[in-house]
């Protein structure tokens, strides 16, 4: 963490947000049972216990994506991060966890740190992760084997890096949306929400 | 006939049995209770009974003999009768003979029973004799006892004497005892005091020991104390230090409390500060807004000042506006009136113009007239000049005439002429004056006309001015325009609201789309990692499906080849399909196991059959040999049904007690009817086989009877 306790810089903000995504994605994967629970290990962060994967492949993938995301966050070129959960049998999108990122591009020019303590930011992040955990109560059960994918919405003028490719938005047909809490580092604002396929039975 | 004859014997037999039983039970009781005094009378009765029984027995024997005699007689008679009859009866006779033999058997049995009874009787007699002997001995003992009693009485008298003497002694002794007791009490008191002293002594001793121990300890302590004292010297310093530390401690505690308080305070203050900052921001915003508002207000006030209206409040403004509107209305009315006036003025103006043109024409005419008048005047002046010159000439002439002629000479004519000339002059002068008057008159007329023209012109100008001012101020047309414009503004406002609503709806939709993940392809592009878990999982799945498909096809081929069958296919499979070689051995094993299982099952079945057969055989043999069918109803319970049972339900129930292993007869409807046999064979003889045989015999006999 480069930022001091008093304020926060663009770099610190990007790191903080990327860290949040890392933990958030891990806890979604654990809560939704995309990966078996025995492949997760308990870790204490943000003053709460969180689940982190131990699956080497998944770990590698997440570090790749999150480091790239950090770069984009630093450049303020990322608009959204979407975690898409797809049913493997029907190739149908069942859930979309969308994190809208609002970048304050003025922070790129002025390097002056913003006045917001990491403690309060972490408190906000904690409440977002708590809410993610709580959403399991109303989300429909994933009965079929599922896989996930991470989509990043970036500015059009961005150069596509190696190992990355363009993709469709993976929109759910007939979805219900629920807005979750948001948090802001005063440079990046992250609004979270989840959309899930409407089940006919309800 | 014969069975009837046999019957009484059996009945009498059972009677005997009953008697014996009766005999038995009291005898037992007698044995148990040893009532010696009653024995003799009983013996008498017994002897009597015995005699009776003897007689009966004799009778029975007699009857027996008689019966046998009669039977033989009857048989002889029958044979005599039946020789003549057909041979069919021979079979019967044989049967009867068999029965006879049975009866004979019975008889022998009964004789045996009689014998045994006799034996019993003998035994009883012996017992009775023994009892007599015992009674005699008892009597002897009684007499000896009486002697003893007498002796004892004497002894008791002696003892009474001794007792009286002893009571006296006793009294003395009691007195002594009292004395002794008193002494004892004293002694015991002394003793108690002694014990107390001893106990105190022991306590003191223990105390002394303890004190000694303490002394030793104290000596040790003193040694320790000496060593400690040196340390104690340091104590004050330490105490001081302790005090200091305590103070420090208390101070620190206080300071900690203070600190926590301060922390809380700090927390509170921080919160306050945050709130204050927020408030400050709000304040700044408010101030900015305030300034904006004051500026606005200033502008308004300026406006008010500039406009000269006394606008200080919005009410004033509205009032002002109302006033202005009223004024506007008034002005509008004025405007309308002015407009009408303008129109009338225009009309009058046009009239005036026409008049003016007329007047101009008139003035022109007048000017022409004047010019003509002027020329006339000039001509007339010229003529006047000429006339004056002529007059002067005439006068000179006249003078000359006068001078030449005496004034008297010429007189009438001249005077006449003069007069005439003077008249003419006067006339011309008069005419001149008239013309002059006419001229001045014309001149006056033109001046007045000019004045009139000027007035008209002024009027025109004023009218023009009025017209222009009316065009400026009059807002009739403008008002209409304003109203139309207002309508337009209202329409536009409505349209704007509609558009705003539409805009809101569209924004909501956009938001929803945004929530669903829609994006603007012109601005945004969606990227994802090439090697993401979904695509990997999909690939894996596809691979799996393909491998499964391959397996399915190979297996299908295998199945087909197997269906085509034969060892040939087998060998081919071995060569061509690798998976088959793996799948074949287990099938062989399975087949072997199945064969084994089948053979073992077969063996089992055979064994079962053999067992069943053997069991059946055993049961039938048991049934045939013992005459009982033995069934197991429940565990440890066996039901025995006799071959000769009268009813199907007649059965005996035996229970095997688990503790001792012995069998016990349970009560059934059938066993209730067998009370005698139960008591005889089970209670006395304690033999179940005997009981069962008896039952068999009984039942068998009943069957044969019918």
Write out pLDDT tens, residues B372-409.
888 888 888 888 888 888 878 877 877 776 666 555 55
Band (pLDDT 50/70/90 cuts) for residue B3 is very low
Band (pLDDT 50/70/90 cuts) for residue A5 is low
- Mutation target vs A (from B267, B532, B543; most A CBs, 10 A cutoff): B532
- Does the pLDDT of residue B605 top 90, yes or no? yes
Rounded Cα gap, residues B699 and B33, in angstroms: 40
Note whether B681 and B694 are within 8 A (CB).
yes
ipTM comes to 0.75
User: Chain A contact for B536, CB < 8 A?
Assistant: yes
Q: What's the average model confidence in pLDDT over B199-214?
A: 91
Inter-chain touch A168–B526, beta carbons under 8 Å: yes
Rounded Cα gap, residues B603 and B594, in angstroms: 14
Q: Of B478, B456, B484, B476, which Cα lies nearest the Cα of B340?
A: B476
Give the pLDDT confidence of A90-139 residue by residue, as tens digits: 888 889 999 989 888 777 777 677 778 888 888 888 999 999 888 888 88
What per-residue confidence (pLDDT) applies to B455? 86
Rounded Cα gap, residues B570 and B562, in angstroms: 7
User: Chain A contact for B543, CB < 8 A?
Assistant: no
Rounded Cα gap, residues A98 and B514, in angstroms: 10
Of A58, A158, A195, which is closest to B533 when you measure between CB atoms? A58
Band (pLDDT 50/70/90 cuts) for residue B471 is low
Closest-CA residue in chain A for B529?
A164
Q: How far apart are the first and last CA of chain A?
A: 46
Rounded Cα gap, residues B680 and B700, in angstroms: 19
Task: Report chain A residues whose CB lies below 8 A from the CB of B538.
Answer: 88, 91, 147
Phi, psi (degrees; rounded to nearest 5) at B665:
-85, 130
Extended strands (E) in B193-283: none
What letter does residue A153 receive in the DSSP assignment?
E
Per residue in B119-146, is it b (16+ CB within 10 Å) or e — as a string? eebeeeeeebeebeeeeeeeeeeeeeee
Please give, rounded to a whole number of angstroms, the shortest distance from the CA of A169 to a CA of chain B. 6
Band (pLDDT 50/70/90 cuts) for residue B489 is very high
Band (pLDDT 50/70/90 cuts) for residue B144 is very high
Partners of residue A52 on adjacent β-strands: A41
Rounded Cα gap, residues A138 and A141, in angstroms: 9
Inter-chain touch B530–A96, beta carbons under 8 Å: no
What per-residue confidence (pLDDT) applies to B278? 92
What per-residue confidence (pLDDT) applies to B101? 92
Closest-CA residue in chain B for A194?
B515
Give the pLDDT confidence of B247-298 residue by residue, as tens digits: 988 888 888 888 888 889 889 999 999 999 999 999 999 999 999 988 888 8
Closest-CA residue in chain B for A163?
B530
Q: What's the average model confidence in pLDDT over B591-599?
A: 92
What per-residue confidence (pLDDT) applies to B648? 79
Rounded Cα gap, residues B62 and B70, in angstroms: 12
Inter-chain touch A147–B537, beta carbons under 8 Å: yes
Note whether B513 and A122 are within 8 A (CB).
no
Most confident of B483-497, B553-567, B663-677: B483-497
Residue B567's SS3 state is: helix
Rg of chain A over all Cα atoms, to the nearest angstrom: 17
To the nearest whole percent, how much of chain A has pLDDT over 70? 95
Inter-chain touch B525–A88, beta carbons under 8 Å: no
Please give, rounded to a whole number of angstroms, the shortest distance from the CA of A154 to a CA of chain B. 5
Task: Report chain B residues whose CB lies below 8 A from the CB of A96.
Answer: 516-517
User: Chain A contact for B509, CB < 8 A?
Assistant: no
Q: Under the phi-then-psi rule, with left for phi > 0, alpha for psi from -120 to 50, and beta for the rest, what region is B624? A: alpha
Which residues of A sit within 8 Å Cβ distance of B? 57-58, 61, 64-65, 68, 79-80, 82, 84, 86, 88, 91, 96, 98, 100, 145, 147-156, 158, 160, 163-172, 175, 177, 179, 193, 195
Tell how far CA B480 is from the center of its chain.
74
Phi, psi (degrees; rounded to nearest 5) at B527:
-120, 150
H or E element in which residue B4 lies:
helix B2-32
Inter-chain touch A179–B515, beta carbons under 8 Å: yes
Inter-chain touch B535–A149, beta carbons under 8 Å: yes
User: Chain A contact for B534, CB < 8 A?
Assistant: yes
Q: Of A17, A67, A18, A57, which Cα lies nearest the Cα of A34?
A: A57
Inter-chain touch A148–B512, beta carbons under 8 Å: no
Inter-chain touch A169–B518, beta carbons under 8 Å: yes
Please give, rounded to a whole number of angstroms, the shortest distance from the CA of B265 to a CA of chain A. 19
Q: What's the average model confidence in pLDDT over B662-667?
A: 82
- Does the pLDDT of residue B426 top 70, yes or no? yes
- Mutation target vs B (from A82, A147, A196; most B CBs, 10 A cutoff): A147
Inter-chain touch B534–A160, beta carbons under 8 Å: no
Band (pLDDT 50/70/90 cuts) for residue B308 is low
pTM: 0.36
Note whether B517 and A96 are within 8 A (CB).
yes
- Does the pLDDT of residue B567 top 50, yes or no? no
Band (pLDDT 50/70/90 cuts) for residue B475 is low
What per-residue confidence (pLDDT) applies to B323? 83
Of B512, B514, B541, which is closest to A88 when you measure between CB atoms? B541
What per-residue confidence (pLDDT) applies to B40? 66
Task: Report chain A residues whose CB lies below 8 A from the CB of B528.
Answer: 149-152, 164-165, 167
Rounded Cα gap, residues B359 and B449, in angstroms: 8
Per residue in B316-329, is it b (16+ CB within 10 Å) or e — as a string? ebeebeeeeeeeee
User: Chain A contact for B533, CB < 8 A?
Assistant: yes
Give the pLDDT confidence of B9-66 residue by residue, as tens digits: 444 444 444 444 444 444 444 444 445 555 567 788 888 889 999 998 999 989 889 8
Task: Report chain B residues whose CB lies below 8 A from the CB of A156.
Answer: 522-525
CA distances from B425 to A200, B381, B421, B566, B637 (A): 141, 13, 6, 187, 207
Axis crossing angle, helix A56-75 with helix A10-31, rounded to the nearest 10: 150
Q: What's the average model confidence in pLDDT over B129-153?
A: 92
Residue B478's SS3 state is: helix
Note whether A170 and A84 are within 8 A (CB).
yes
Please give, rounded to a whole number of angstroms, the shortest distance from the CA of A5 to a CA of chain B. 15
Task: Report chain B residues whose CB lies below 8 A from the CB of A100.
Answer: 514
Q: Of A30, A11, A19, which Cα lies nearest the Cα of A142?
A: A30
Partners of residue B630 on adjacent β-strands: B640
CA distances from B644 to B150, B280, B638, B649 (A): 74, 122, 18, 12
Task: Report chain B residues whose CB lies below 8 A from the CB of A171.
Answer: 516-518
Partners of residue A44 on adjacent β-strands: A49
Phi, psi (degrees; rounded to nearest 5) at B298:
-55, -45
- Does the pLDDT of residue B568 top 80, yes or no? no
Q: What's the average model confidence in pLDDT over B70-91?
A: 80
Note whether B688 and B663 are within 8 A (CB).
yes
Round the average pLDDT of chain B to a whole number and report it.
Answer: 82
Give the pLDDT confidence of A151-183 residue by residue, as tens digits: 888 888 888 888 888 888 888 888 888 888 888
DSSP-derived secondary structure for B644-694: T-SSTT--EEEEE-TTT--EEEEP-HHHHTTHHHIIIIIIIS--HHHHHHH
Q: What's the average model confidence in pLDDT over B142-147?
A: 92
Helices of type H across B308-406: 314-404
Please give, rounded to a whole number of angstroms, the shortest distance from the CA of B634 to a CA of chain A. 56
Q: Of B551, B8, B97, which Cα lies nearest the Cα of B559?
A: B551
Please give, rounded to a whole number of angstroms, the shortest distance from the CA of A95 to a CA of chain B. 10
Please give, rounded to a whole number of angstroms, the shortest distance from the CA of A195 to a CA of chain B. 7
Inter-chain touch B541–A98, beta carbons under 8 Å: no
- Mutation target vs B (from A105, A166, A167, A173; most B CBs, 10 A cutoff): A167
Of A100, A156, A165, which is closest to B530 when you measure between CB atoms? A165
Task: Report chain A residues whose CB lies below 8 A from the CB of B532.
Answer: 61, 148-150
| CB atoms closer than 10 angstroms to residue B204 | 11
Q: What's the average model confidence in pLDDT over B142-158?
A: 92
Closest-CA residue in chain B for A88?
B538
What per-residue confidence (pLDDT) applies to B470? 61
Inter-chain touch A147–B534, beta carbons under 8 Å: yes
Give the count of Cβ contacts less than 8 A between chain A and B.
105
Band (pLDDT 50/70/90 cuts) for residue B586 is low
Say which residue, B488 or B29, is predicted with more confidence: B488
Note whether B532 and A149 are within 8 A (CB).
yes
What per-residue confidence (pLDDT) applies to B182? 92
Inter-chain touch B526–A151, beta carbons under 8 Å: yes
């Amino acid at each position: 963490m480069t930022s001091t306790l008093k304020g926060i810089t663009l770099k610190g903000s990007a790191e903080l947000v990327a860290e949040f995504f890392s933990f958030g994605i891990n806890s979604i994967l654990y809560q939704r049972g995309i990966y078996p629970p025995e492949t997760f290990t308990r870790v204490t962060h943000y003053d709460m216990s969180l689940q982190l994967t131990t699956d080497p492949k998944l770990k590698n993938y997440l570090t790749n994506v999150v480091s790239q995301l950090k770069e984009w966050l630093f450049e303020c070129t990322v608009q959204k991060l979407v975690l898409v959960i797809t049913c493997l049998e029907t190739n149908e999108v069942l859930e979309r966890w969308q994190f809208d990122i609002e970048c304050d591009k003025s922070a790129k020019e002025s390097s002056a740190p913003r006045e917001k303590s990491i403690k309060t930011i972490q408190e906000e992040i904690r409440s977002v992760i708590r809410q993610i955990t709580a959403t399991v109560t109303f989300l429909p059960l994933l009965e079929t084997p599922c896989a996930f994918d991470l989509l990043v919405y970036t500015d059009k003028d961005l150069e596509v890096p190696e190992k990355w490719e363009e993709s469709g938005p993976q929109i759910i047909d007939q979805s219900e949306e629920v807005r979750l809490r948001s948090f802001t580092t005063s440079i990046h604002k992250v609004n979270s929400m989840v959309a899930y396929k409407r089940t006919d039975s309800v | 006939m014969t069975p009837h004859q046999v019957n009484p014997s059996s009945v009498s037999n059972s009677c005997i049995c009953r008697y014996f039983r009766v005999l038995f039970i009291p005898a037992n009781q007698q044995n148990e209770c040893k009532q010696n005094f009653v024995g003799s009378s009983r013996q008498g009765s017994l002897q009597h009974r015995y005699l009776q029984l003897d007689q009966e027995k004799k009778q029975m024997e007699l009857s027996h003999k008689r019966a046998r005699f009669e039977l033989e007689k009857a048989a002889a008679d029958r044979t005599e009768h039946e020789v003549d009859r057909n041979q069919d009866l021979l079979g019967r006779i044989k049967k009867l003979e068999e029965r006879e033999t049975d009866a004979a058997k019975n008889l022998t049995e009964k004789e045996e029973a009689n014998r045994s009874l006799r034996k019993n009787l003998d035994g009883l007699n012996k017992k009775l004799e023994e009892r007599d002997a015992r009674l005699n001995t008892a009597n002897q003992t009684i007499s000896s006892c009486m002697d003893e009693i007498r002796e004892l009485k004497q002894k008791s008298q002696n003892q009474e004497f001794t007792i009286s003497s002893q009571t006296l002694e006793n009294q003395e002794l009691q007195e002594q005892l009292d004395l002794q007791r008193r002494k004892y009490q004293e002694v015991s008191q002394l003793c108690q005091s002694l014990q107390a002293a001893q106990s105190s002594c022991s306590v003191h001793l223990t105390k002394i020991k303890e004190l000694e121990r303490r002394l030793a300890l104290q000596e040790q302590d003193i040694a320790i104390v000496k060593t400690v004292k040196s340390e104690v010297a340091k104590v004050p310093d330490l105490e001081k230090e302790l005090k200091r530390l305590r103070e420090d401690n208390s101070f620190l505690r206080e300071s900690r409390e203070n600190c926590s308080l301060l922390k809380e305070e700090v927390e509170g203050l921080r919160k306050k500060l945050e709130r204050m900052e927020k408030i400050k921001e709000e304040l700044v915003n408010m101030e900015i807004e305030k300034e904006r508002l004051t500026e606005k207000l200033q502008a308004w006030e300026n406006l008010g000042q500039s406009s000269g209206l006394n606008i200080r409040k919005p009410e004033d403004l509205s009032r002002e506006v109302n006033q202005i509107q009223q004024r506007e209305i008034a002005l509008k009315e004025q405007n309308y009136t002015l407009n009408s006036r303008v129109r009338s003025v225009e009309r009058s103006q046009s009239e005036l113009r026409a008049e003016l043109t007329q007047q101009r024409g008139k003035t022109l005419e007048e000017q022409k007239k004047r010019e003509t008048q002027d020329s006339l005047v000039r001509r007339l002046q010229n003529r006047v000049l000429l006339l004056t010159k002529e007059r002067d000439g005439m006068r000179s002439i006249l003078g000359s005439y006068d001078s030449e002629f005496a004034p008297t000479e010429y007189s009438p004519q001249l005077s006449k002429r003069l007069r005439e000339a003077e008249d003419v002059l006067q006339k011309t002068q008069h005419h001149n004056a008239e013309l002059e008057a006419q001229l001045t008159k014309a001149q006056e007329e033109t001046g007045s006309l000019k004045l009139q023209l000027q007035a008209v012109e002024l009027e025109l100008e004023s009218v023009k001015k009025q017209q222009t001012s009316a065009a400026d101020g009059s807002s009739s047309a403008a008002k209409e325009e304003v109203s139309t414009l207002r309508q337009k503004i209202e329409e536009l406002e409505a349209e704007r609201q509609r558009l705003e609503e539409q805009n809101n709806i569209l924004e909501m939709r956009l938001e929803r789309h945004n929530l669903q993940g829609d994006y603007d392809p012109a601005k945004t592009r969606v990227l994802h990692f090439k090697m993401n878990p979904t695509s990997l999982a999909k690939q894996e799945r596809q691979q799996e499906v393909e491998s499964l498909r391959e397996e399915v096809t190979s297996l299908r081929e295998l199945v087909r080849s197997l269906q085509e069958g034969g060892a040939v296919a087998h060998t081919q499979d071995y060569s061509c399909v690798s998976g088959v070689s793996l799948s074949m051995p287990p099938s062989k094993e399975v087949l072997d196991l199945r064969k084994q299982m089948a053979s073992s099952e077969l063996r089992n079945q055979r064994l079962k059959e053999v067992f069943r057969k053997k069991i059946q055989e055993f049961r039938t043999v048991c049934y045939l040999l013992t005459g009982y069918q033995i069934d197991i109803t429940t565990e440890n319970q066996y039901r025995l049904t006799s071959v000769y049972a009268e009813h199907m339900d007649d059965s005996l129930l035996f229970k095997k007690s688990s503790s001792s292993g012995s069998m016990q007869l349970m009560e059934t409807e059938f066993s209730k009817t067998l009370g005698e046999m139960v008591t005889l064979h089970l209670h006395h003889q304690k033999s179940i086989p005997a009981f069962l045989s008896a039952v068999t015999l009984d039942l068998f006999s009943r069957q044969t009877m019918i």
